[in-house]
A = this chain, B = another copy of it.
Amino acid sequence: MGKVVTFGEIMMRLDPKGYRRFVQAEDFDVSYAGGEANAAVGLVQLGETASFVTKLPAHEVGQAALNAVRRYGVDTSFIVRGGARLGIYFIEKGASQRASKVIYDRAGSALALSSAADYDWDNIFSGADWFHFTGITPALGGELPDICKQACLAARKAKVTVSCDLNYRKKLWSREQAREVMEALMPFVDVCIANEEDAADVFGICAERTDVHKGELNREGYISVARQIHEKYGCARVAITLRGSLSASVNTWGGMLYQNGNAYFSPEYTVQIVDRVGGGDSFGAGLIYALKNGFEPQRAVNLAAAASCLKHTIEKDFNLITLAEAESLAAGNASGRVQR
């Protein structure tokens, strides 16, 4: 089977230790993260071959970001070097009633200022059979909306399946900008991944009777959103992640896959959170793995949900779990007994 290509930004992630607030931090954990990098790493852990495409400054900090994905087996041979800076995000971990807080410092990154000439998509897609990106990549602006479109065109030419996680970020662009750009990309998207907020923010597609801030989950509403996306943009599959935020420490988590008019819901997990960032990306990686390997829909969404449930127990963005671990949980083994 061919490789998966993902394209997007990788940032430096800086976390105060433990539950310290920003103003208490005397040191930061440093890791490197971004939606598409996270997905690539997650896919390799599950057993796929994946190549991550981005642009990174030539200096040592850029090198460290490259090394971070290379360490976990992602192909980095198409990463372009150049540009001035690596985007950064700061995150302090919340607990109980106190939310985690993210401060982005990503403007002017090497990727955001990259140009179409930096990427040779035909070459990149040689040997690939899946292309994945998120709505963050075009949201970075500059030439990226165009570059994404070129990538999608090249993917189609190469008969590569395209998946997109909408991932709306209100600090990067307005809803109007997002809708205009994303509507131009959706015709290329075979698998659309979203949460209910994304669909409303980007496409104005809403489901009734669901208030994400209350943690209420509404099965019919999710199906309605997925059906609308499918009908409006033609995506063969629409997947929606279902998060119930009971507190910063405990969430419920699951997913739904809509395909051929049917909706398949995974079990809902209640998770004690170690680090919930990258949860959605890990769902995407699990889903891509499952679909690429021909899982039928229920098994596919179950694997994606199990893999991403486990992500919530792992520090930093990357989902460092194996296929065996995800499948064991998907099979119902949730007791957490010590494995000796």
Contacts and interface: CB of A to CB of B under 8 A. Distances in A.
A276 interface: yes
Given A71-B71, A274-B95, A245 B24 contact: no
Contacts of A325: 98
Nearest to A15: B27
A335 B213 contact: yes
Contacts of A276: 338
A80 to B, nearest CB: 16
A272 interface: yes
A209 interface: no
Given A85-B105, A271-B96, A25 B19 contact: no
A221 interface: no
A280 to B, nearest CB: 11
A217 to B, nearest CB: 13
10 contacts: A23-B72, A24-B320, A61-B103, A67-B71, A70-B70, A99-B336, A100-B336, A101-B338, A212-B337, A249-B272
Interface stretch (A157-165, A284-292, A294-302, A308-316): A308-316
Contacts of A339: 99-102
Work out how many copies of this chain go into the complex.
Answer: 6
Nearest to A247: B336
A62 B297 CA distance: 34
B315 A20 contact: yes
A234 interface: no
A18 interface: yes
A336 B63 contact: no
**What are the 6 tightest A-B residue pairs by CB atom distance, in nearest-first order?**
A248-B336, A71-B71, A22-B60, A98-B313, A245-B335, A95-B313
A330 to B, nearest CB: 11
A34 interface: no
B97 A336 contact: yes
B27 A169 contact: no
A104 B86 CA distance: 11
Interface in A260-284: 269, 271-277
Contacts of A200: none
A6 B288 CA distance: 36
Given A70-B73, A274-B19, A338 B100 contact: yes
Nearest to A318: B24
Contact of A19 (B61, B90, B314): B314
A17 B215 CA distance: 32
Contact of A337 (B213, B275, B312): B213
A208 interface: no
Contact of A277 (B101, B104, B320, B338): B338
A32 to B, nearest CB: 11
A231 interface: no
A82 to B, nearest CB: 15
Contacts of A323: none
